[in-house]
Amino acid sequence: MFITTLITATLLSLSITPFASATPCCLPLPPDHHKKVIDLYTRTWNGEDALLNKTFAPTAQLYSDRTPAANGSEVHVIRSSQDILDFMHGAQTGWDKYQFEVAGWAGGDGGNIAVRWKLNGIIGEGFTIPTPLKQGDHVTYNGTDFLRVDECTGLIKQVDIAQDYVTFFHNLGLTGINV
């Protein structure tokens, strides 16, 4: 009886894998990994293109609000790390300064991180959004990015961006915008 119970208990313990370890390729990410991801993410946005492959999975996706454009707004289809870099370059166009600061963040269950950010920008030549502001004028606004990190690689696999466009448009001096 004792041997039968022992064998049954051993077999059951092998077949019931706890949910947290259900992905055998993954080791738990170190406690400071969220901070490292946020640092790499922010530095990539701030122009350190060489960090792209240390920050994003090759098949990373980005979901954004429609973004302002010269003739209204546009939607973006972003399905790779290179597409993300291209999106960043497009967002930086027309700015003399385009610098993000982390205002706060929260990381919890595994690979989920929320980053509250503030953009400090100075309008440059070729700024594409029609505004009464002039080159050299300072503009700031904020938003929150939700990052999903692949727990096996530690790289960002998905970004969901929620920007405070009402504040952005107000700070640009706009009273209306075509969508």
Mean pLDDT by 10 residues, the chain (179 residues): 46 40 64 92 98 98 84 86 96 96 88 96 93 97 97 95 92 84
Q: Are 133 and 125 in contact (CB under 8 A)?
A: no
**How do beta strands 156-163 and 56-63 pair?**
parallel
**What pLDDT is recorded for position 77?**
86
Alpha-carbon distance of 46 to 33, in angstroms, equals 20
**Is residue 94 exposed (0-12), middle (13-18) or buried (19+ Cβ within 10 Å)?**
middle
Q: Are 95 and 121 in contact (CB under 8 A)?
A: yes
Q: Are 129 and 168 in contact (CB under 8 A)?
A: no
Give me the residue spans of the domains in the chain: 30-171
Structural fold of domain 30-171: Nuclear Transport Factor 2; Chain: A, (3.10.450)
Any residues with CB less than 8 A from the CB of 45 and at least 6 apart, and which? 88, 100
Alpha-carbon distance of 130 to 64, in angstroms, equals 21
In 3D, which of 178, 175, 141 has the Cα closest to residue 161?
Answer: 141
Which amino acid is it at 78?
I
The 3-state DSSP class for residue 11 equals helix
**What pLDDT is recorded for position 6?**
42
In 3D, which of 6, 27, 12, 8 has the Cα closest to residue 111?
Answer: 27
**What pLDDT is recorded for position 51?**
99
**What pLDDT is recorded for position 91?**
92
Whole-prediction pTM: 0.81
Alpha-carbon distance of 53 to 118, in angstroms, equals 24
Tokens at 69, concatenated: 């454009």
**What pLDDT is recorded for position 25?**
65
- DSSP letter, residue 88: H
